[in-house]
Structure 1
Amino acid sequence: MILELTGDAGQRGRQHGARLREQIHARIAGAVVLETPDTAARAALAGPWLAAIDSVDHLGAELRGIAAGAGVPLHDVVLLNAFEAVETARQVELGGCTAISLAGPSGPVVAQNWDANPSLAATVAIHLHRGPDIPTTVLLASPGGLGWIGLNAHGVALVNNDLLTRSVRPGLPSQAVRRAALAQATAADAVRVIVSRPAVGGRAYLLADANGATMTVEVSAEAGPVVTRHPGRTAVHTNHAVSPTIAVHEDRDLLAATYPSSRFRMRRAADLASRPGTSPRILLADHAGYPLSICRHPSDREQTVTAASVVLDCGRRHAAIALGNPCTGSHVEINLTAW
């Protein structure tokens, strides 16, 4: 159930690649981002993204380890981690997602239903990284990927949502941004990592830490980042921009076609979060508006389903992760202080 990866970045990468070799080959074969059969063209497409990843400590070594362990070209692994390399409307790894942060007894509790199309949803698993170069980190990740969301042993939690802004550009892929942020000791440090580089596309990050800080960051390729602090520790985000600075760059037609439930899910999550004693697990299992509910189920109107439901308790350094819908799945409990 948990893929434990130990050692330095290269060693962890090789373990990842070797243990998930077949799944990585299958994911590469099915990825539209690799739709060109021309190896040279794929390598050229990956080049700028790899250069950006190599500028971040350890991440280039981890990807090289994954490629070596799986026996696949490095550029193909890079492109699995740079879905932004194709225009937004053609990205197959878009995911709906409802993210919240609530005040818990020991600090913020960050939670998310991580949604994806059914083929990508079937790939996600729990990865646990332990090594001398990073804080112990638990991630929701796909084969060959650096990771989608997670919690580190300092108590920094990160979840995020797709925003369908119009432009993409080469740079540090968002999966690498997430891992760089999760190497930090505080949410403020993680936010500084996120905003230190130009964004490659639209995304909203929700972060919190064991000291009680809760922040959201909305980014796009067209505008500077917008950082919002939530002193009450309650925050909600779905798949549309809250800041007018970012919202003006959204492709509204694509948003309406891809995530028609976004505004309803945000209103519903905010309403539930405002009720005293709200449990994150109950909120994430909510079926109001079914099937386009917070707990997402198959629908012809929106081609994503809930792939995993994650509850991250910053103060306790504890993660509870259910693969699949939270209304039916059981949670795996991971206490990072025990590792």
Structure 2
Amino acid sequence: MPRNPIPILVLRGRPFERGGRHGEAFAAEIQRALGRSKDTSSRKAYEAARGRAAHSWPLLEECAPEIAMEVQGLAEGSSSDVTDLYLRIGFEFFVDAAPTGCSGIAIAGPNGAVIGQNWDAPPEDAVDLALVLHAGEAGVETAMVASVGTLGWVGCNRSGLALSTNDLILDAIPCGLPSQVVRRLALDQASVPAAIGALRSLPNMGGRCYLLGDAAGAIAGVEISPSVGVSAMAATSPILHTNHARLPETAVVEDEARLQAVYPSSRSRLAALERLADGARTVADVMAVLRNRDGAPNAISKTPSKEEKTETAFSIVFDCAAAEIHLCAGPPSTGVYQTVRLSDPERRVEPPPRP
């Protein structure tokens, strides 16, 4: 059955004020999420991760002072400890982060790029999702789907730059900038080349793939390893990605045994994308690919299985030239996409009641 739409939160003002509004709107949910994080980790593991987050904080203040102020506002608004919140944002501070597998596609369409992704996570993570719109005097500047109390998973900006991301099991470093910070800094740019430049300039903590597209029709897929750096895939449409390295330079640092334990369906989902994506040109084409159930339950539109407990928590398609988001709560094979335009007029902020 189709699920209720993901709530929309509009944030205005300076970074501290935006964070405060976010924290106030979802204070109860954020407190519950922080409690779950402590309950599911041993005290020793949690304190070790918290120490890594505290060590990273000065780097955040240096590289992204406005984001640091936003996190401080988020802590005040939700009556939370700022280090605990930064630890929620920086899941990489935990040695064994929860799995979030994804299937992504980037196409250079006739009128700008189209970026699509199914974001897979444990079913209990879906209840904490919101679409967060950061608005300035000219309207919405950046839109990101986020777990409440975080900076965001995927998103786009008013210039038409869109970003999606896939987890890769590569090498890692204990201190750097969490990927959610990196994503926000990349979305401060106006084009794919500028975003790649930002990614190259930042201290990435772990393995990750980003698919990028912009209003001019440029697309890119990059794989990131702390030891290898940022490696770009051939910019031939379509660019497809799941949860394993596709470039030889990053594959050499991939943990194949852990990949098979965490994302055993990665290669079969990629094979399904390759069968379906040839000839995809439009938003409707990308939606059709993301709805596919070949190989179910471990399909592009994923549901939980014995091997992988995750399901598609949301599906999203960015129309870069139109600055439009098409967002579906839950697996798109049974859900409905709703359209959000960054140029829409004022919105009321009404987070729905949560159990």
For the aligned pair, the TM-score class normalised by the smaller chain equals: over 0.9
Segment of structure 1 superposing worse, 289-298 or 25-34: 25-34
In the other structure, the counterpart of 1:45 is 52
Q: Tell me which of 128, 133, 137 is aligned to 2:133.
A: 128
Q: Aligned residues, how many?
A: 335
Alignment match, 2:326:
320
Residues 1:179 and 2:187 aligned together: no
1:15 to 11, 18, 21: 21
Could you say what the CA RMSD is over the residues aligned between the two structures, in angstroms?
Answer: 2.1
The alpha-carbon deviation at position 212 of structure 1 amounts to 1.4
* 2:235 is aligned with 1:227: no
Alignment check: 8 A CA contact 2:182 2:202 kept: no
The 1:325–1:38 alpha-carbon spacing in structure 2 relative to 1, beyond 3 Å, is closer
Greater Cα offset, 27-36 or 218-227: 27-36
Q: Structure 1 counterpart of 2:213, which letter? A: A
Confirm or deny that 1:193 pairs with 2:198: yes
Shift in Å, 1:51: 1.9
Does the CA contact (< 8 Å) of 1:108 and 1:233 recur in 2? Answer: no
1:42 touches 1:76 (CA, 8 Å); kept in 2?
A: no
Q: Give the superposition deviation at 1:114.
A: 0.6
After the TM superposition, list the runs of 4 or more consecutive aligned residues in structure 1 that deviate by more than 4 angstroms.
32-35, 37-43, 132-135
Identity of aligned pairs, percent? 36
2:251 is the alignment partner of 1:247: yes
Q: For residue 293 of structure 1, what is the aligned residue in structure 2? A: 299
Structure 1 position 133, deviation (Å): 11
Counterpart pick for 1:27 among 6, 29, 33: 33
2:165 aligned partner, one-letter code: N
TM-score for the superposition, normalised by structure 2: 0.89
Question: Distance between the aligned counterparts of 1:36 and 1:64, measured in 2?
Answer: 24
Q: Does 1:270 align with 2:274?
A: yes
Distance (whole Å) between structure 1 residues aligned to residue 16 and residue 220 of structure 2:
32
Cα offsets for 1:62-103 (capped at 9, x unmatched)? 10010000001000110011111122xx212x2110010123
TM-score, structure 1 length as denominator?
Answer: 0.93
Q: 2:258 matched to 1:260? A: no
300-309 vs 324-333, which deviates more?
A: 324-333
Taking the TM superposition and a 5 Å limit, the aligned residue runs for 1:142-157 are 142-157=147-162
**In structure 1, how many angstroms separate the alpha carbons of the residues matched to 2:291 and 2:171?**
32
Q: Which moved more, 1:298-307 or 1:63-72?
A: 298-307
Work out which of the residue numbers 66, 71, 79 in structure 1 matches 2:74. Answer: 66
Deviates more, 1:127-136 or 1:329-338: 127-136
Q: Which sits farther off after the overlay, 132-141 or 322-331?
A: 132-141
CA contact (8 A) 2:50 2:93 kept: no
Equivalence for 1:95: 100
Letter in 2 for 1:97: C
Per the TM alignment, residue 45 of structure 1 is displaced from its structure 2 partner at its CA by 3.0
Gaps of 5+ in 1: none
Indicate the larger mover: 118-127 or 152-161. 118-127
User: Residues 133 and 184 (structure 1 numbering): CA distance in 2 closer, same or farther, change over 3 Å?
Assistant: farther
- The one-character-per-residue Cα deviations of 1:149-184 (angstroms, maximum 9, x if unpaired) are 001110000001000114332101000000011111
How far off its partner does 1:333 sit? 0.9
1:36 aligned to which of 43, 49, 56: 43
Q: Which letter maps to 2:20?
A: R
Distance 1:131 1:50 in 2: 26
In 2, the alpha carbon distance for the partners of 1:217 and 1:170 equals 21
Q: Kindly indicate whether the alpha-carbon contact (under 8 Å) linking 1:259 and 1:302 is maintained by their aligned counterparts in 2.
A: yes
Structure 1 residue 277 displacement after superposition: 5.6
Residue 131 of structure 1 and its aligned partner are, at CA, apart by 2.7
User: CA, structure 1 residues 76+228, in 2 after alignment: closer, same or farther (shift >3 Å)?
Assistant: same
Cα separation, partners in 2 of 1:262 and 1:134, compared to 1, 3 Å: farther
